[in-house]
Amino acid sequence: GESVGLHLPTLSVQEGDNSIINCAYSNSASDYFIWYKQESGKGPQFIIDIRSNMDKRQGQRVTVLLNKTVKHLSLQIAATQPGDSAVYFCAEILRGYSTLTFGKGTMLLVSP
Amino acid sequence: GAVVSQHPSWVICKSGTSVKIECRSLDFQATTMFWYRQFPKQSLMLMATSNEGSKATYEQGVEKDKFLINHASLTLSTLTVTSAHPEDSSFYICSATRGGNEENIQYFGAGTRLSVL
């Protein structure tokens, strides 16, 4: 989703639920995507990546889905835990480039 | 593996002084290092891309003379905020890539909180 001013989109879930965080991109030349997790006052932490020639990739408790038709990316977290509470950013790299462009971020709040 | 250390984690300085922030890749040689700036509740904005032994590439709107970047070795890059002013107060974060199969994955430092009085 889009953020307005200083407001971060927030997803609130209960511990044990599955979480889905969404990200939209606009550039057809986006070739590579990464999801990062950022806890308060810390640097982003790599979670999972996916190339544009794939539509799904799984990690430990996380799955990234890529729909190039609608330019949409999602991060699914299974059995969400309080430690998953953080801001999640999707980031993209355009074909032929090496710099990351970050999305606006989504705050995930997990309550016990 | 892929640990990036950033120092200091927090600095307060007076207006007009300069502040140096260090970014080190501890267990790998970084092909490229990046510097970002982040305001509260906002995303990361790339400031510059740095390669060892060459001049940094700055993003549009970032003042080269204000934010000096030195990349002296494959494991160290520094960002100096010169003549800092209150509007420079922000969270500065560095990242590094280690090439090979992970050429596009950036590993981030813990960030430096700069407060200019």
Residues in chain B: 117
pLDDT score, position B93: 98
How far lies B42's CA from each of A42, A95, A107, B109, in Å?
A: 14, 25, 11, 18
Q: Which of B45, B49, B104 sits opposite A93 (nearest CB)?
A: B104
Instruction: With CB atoms and an 8 Å threshold, state whether A89 touches B103.
Output: no
Query: CA A38: distance to chain centroid?
Result: 11
pLDDT per position as a tens digit, A23-35: 999 888 899 999 9
Q: Which of A41, A89, A93 sits opposite B43 (nearest CB)?
A: A89
pLDDT score, position A7: 67
pLDDT band at A46 (very low <50, low <70, confident <90, very high): very high
CA–CA dist A84, B114 (Å, integer): 27
What does pLDDT average to in each consecutive run of 10 residues of chain B (117 residues)?
93 97 94 94 94 90 95 93 96 92 88 97
pLDDT band at A6 (very low <50, low <70, confident <90, very high): low
More confident position, A12 or B103: A12
Which residue pairs, CB below 8 angstroms and at least 24 apart, start in A42-45? A42/B110, A42/B111, A43/B4, A43/B6, A43/B93, A43/B95, A43/B108, A43/B109, A43/B110, A43/B111, A44/A89, A44/B44, A44/B93, A44/B95, A44/B108, A45/B108
Query: B60 in contact with A at a CB cutoff of 8 Å?
Result: no
